[in-house]
Amino acid sequence: MGTSYTPPTNPDWWREPIERSELVWIVLAFSWCIFMFVWMIGWHFAGPQNMSNETYRTTIEEYAKKVDDFSAKYAIRKDDATGEDVVAPPPGSDVYLAAMQWQYRPILELKKGEKYRLHISSYDVGHGFSLLPENINFQVYPGYEQVTTITPNKSGTFAIACGEYCGGAGGIGHHSMLGRIYVKE
């Protein structure tokens, strides 16, 4: 049977001098932490995948009116698959998108290389906004209007998926909560 080692009890252990090799590792670890902290902040501005959002308080009724007015003003057709409005706002304009169980509306048609201010909010519960196949993800809550500036750089059809479990009734319909953005040349 082996014996266990019990370190000596010294209430003043913290007053003992630090060995040189330990001091070198402490300085290296601390320097690395400071570097990573600064780099994390800098990468937010330098990294192309990061989106800076503005967030405003709103009510569901106010936001629903903005979405309805936007859809009525810029609707160009009904989508063949869903029957939902396809909306084509002019470049540089404000674009409104609503998340609700279990859909995003309206379907957006944007121009490649043009800048838009995307407004998004939820009508009911917290949802996720995941633009596929791009790596753009953020959360959407009722009572908050998030605004971000986007410039589509590829043409094609992009899916919007809900990245948050939007619950209720055992989650029926969450898996099919999809929206669409068409980007034209």
pLDDT tens, residue by residue, 91-106: 999 999 999 888 899 9
Retrieve residue 171's tokens. 């989650």
Cβ within 8 Å of residue 125, ≥6 positions away:
101, 142, 166, 167, 168
Asked if pLDDT for residue 79 goes beyond 60, the answer is yes
pLDDT of residue 184: 94
Whole-number Å distance between alpha carbons of 84 and 80: 8
Asked if pLDDT for residue 147 goes beyond 60, the answer is yes
Going across the sheet that includes 127-132, the strands are: 75-78, 85-87, 107-111, 178-184, 156-161, 127-132, 136-140
CA angle 173, 177, 179 (to 5 degrees): 155
Whether the Cβ atoms of residue 158 and residue 183 lie closer than 8 Å to each other: yes
Asked if pLDDT for residue 15 goes beyond 90, the answer is no
Whole-model pTM? 0.73
According to the CATH classification, is domain 54-184 in 2.60.40.420? Answer: yes
How do the domains of the chain map onto residue ranges?
16-46, 54-184
Signed CA dihedral, 50, 155, 149, 162: sign only: negative
- Phi/psi of residue 89, nearest 5 degrees: -75, 155
Could you give the percent of the chain with pLDDT greater than 90? 51
